[in-house]
Amino acid sequence: MFSGRLARTALLVAAALFLNPAARAQTIGGEILCTAPGTFFTNTSSVAQNFILTLQPVVTTDSTLPTVSLSWTDAPGRKKSASMGAQGSESFAMSVAPAGTVSFSCSGDQAIDWQIGSTKGGGNFDCGSAPFSASGTLFLASGDAAIDLIVGITANGVSPSPITAVLSWTDSAGRHRSAQLSNAFSTGLAISLGKGAGLAYDCSAAGTGNWAFAVAP
């Protein structure tokens, strides 16, 4: 296994609303409990808001990670949904209609850190070490446009056995892409993520690390 573990309570996400230069320097966020459904964000303005929402569970020794389900109405007025399973973190690019909300539901009393913004962020990258799944999605382009990202992933340490982590995605031209991360990896990638596509991962052995993204100019 990779050695070490990131502090679970750290918020490793950055963001900024796609509104104006001042707004791009701002982030908002907090922590919710999965004891009842709730709302992350309410758009009380008269224009659609475009941003990136990042979720990261606060993991303890006895955590059992639930699926976190999201729902919102996008800029054209369509009902949208997405979810995060048992993974270290995930980011969602979305557009929210005027008077729209971003709501969540999950079970149990698990705490989830959340943050909203736009230009860069990231979080924990955990593969297969309890309570995490060996596969998942790091970033979902759930809006109406492709998005260009610079992505970096770093392992926390070196495993004594070979480890393969594979990233896969569909690019803006509709082509399937993949990249393989070898043992003791620290890798940067420029990715064009197609509309509605996800940046997925699959690990052959348990390990921990972190990841970060920046929206390419």
Tally of domains in the chain: 1
What residues make up the domain containing 156? 21-215
Q: Tell me what the mean pLDDT of segment 192-198 comes to.
A: 95
State pLDDT tens for residues 139-151.
999 988 899 999 9
**Global pTM?**
0.84
CB contact at 8 A, 211 and 153? yes
Whether residue 115 lies inside any domain: the answer is yes
Most confident of 12-26, 108-122, 181-195: 108-122
Whether residue 96 lies inside any domain: the answer is yes
pLDDT of residue 156: 74
CB contact at 8 A, 202 and 125? no
Whether residue 173 lies inside any domain: the answer is yes
State pLDDT tens for residues 94-107.
999 999 999 999 98
Tokens found for residue 3: 């050695």
Q: What is the mean pLDDT of the chain?
A: 82
Contacts with 86 (C-beta within 8 Å, 6 or more apart), sequence order: 65, 67, 131, 132, 133, 136
Whether residue 95 lies inside any domain: the answer is yes
Confidence of residue 127 (pLDDT cuts 50, 70, 90): confident
Whether residue 13 lies inside any domain: the answer is no
Q: Which of 44-58, 86-100, 111-125 has the lowest mean pLDDT?
A: 111-125
State pLDDT tens for residues 64-92.
889 999 999 999 999 999 999 999 999 99
pLDDT of residue 98: 96
